[in-house]
Amino acid sequence: MNLNELLLKKRQTILKKWFDSVLETYPQDTANFLKRQKDQFANPVGSTIYNGMDSLLEELLNGGDTDKISTFLDNIIRIRAIQDFTPSQALAFVIQLKRVVREELINENKESQFADELLAFERRADDLMLLSFDIYMKCREKIYDLKANELRNMTSKLLERANLIFEAQYRKIDLEEVLQGNKLERGE
């Protein structure tokens, strides 16, 4: 049995521990809800993260198509990028996979038996981290672009309103001057 076969055999255990390690980054009440609520409509965040991690782990253990991996990472990172996490906190879940796998191998007393394969797996996880960082940065850039556009639109509308108020006041003054001028011409 090689490392991938062992990890595929222990996939559900690894996934559960990995998901639990992600939940630890959330406040207790939120973590409990994300863990307890299995309905994807009542809990879209928890469902998306769990399913993304499940698919990511499967793809990683079965060879790893980079496009599929990017899609699964993107689904998870989009959520974590908009939440109140620092970049390191948002992406720590990738590194936590390495820890969970190592702990499983230690529990099996097989860490030394799979040393070379474990090193290769950890390199793939490191590559995953780099890819995650790229995806995270794209998400954050998009968020900043959206915020900048919103601010620009708000400012534009405020300036437009201010100009309309100025024009309305200017027209009112002109109208009053015209009315007063007409009174003067009539001798009133």
**What's the pLDDT score for residue 177?**
61
Predicted confidence at residue 169, as pLDDT, reads 63
- Residue 19: what pLDDT? 95
- By the 8 A CB rule, do 47 and 79 touch? no
> Token match 């007409």: residue?
182
CA distances from 125 to 23, 56, 57, 107 (A): 20, 11, 10, 20
| Res. 174: pLDDT tops 80 | no
Kindly report, residue by residue over 48-57, the tens digit of the pLDDT: 999 999 999 9
Indicate whether this model's pTM tops 0.85: no
- Mean pLDDT rounded to a whole number for the chain: 86
| Residue 175 pLDDT exceeds 60 | no
Phi, psi dihedral angles at 103 (to 5 degrees): -60, -40
What pLDDT does 166 receive?
Answer: 64
Q: What is the mean pLDDT of residues 76-90?
A: 94
In the predicted structure, residue 165 carries a pLDDT above the cut 80 = no
User: Could you read off the pLDDT of 108-157 as tens digits, one per residue?
Assistant: 777 778 888 989 999 999 999 999 999 999 999 999 999 998 988 888 77
Q: Using one digit for the tens of pLDDT, what is the confidence trace for 13-39?
A: 999 999 999 999 999 999 989 888 878
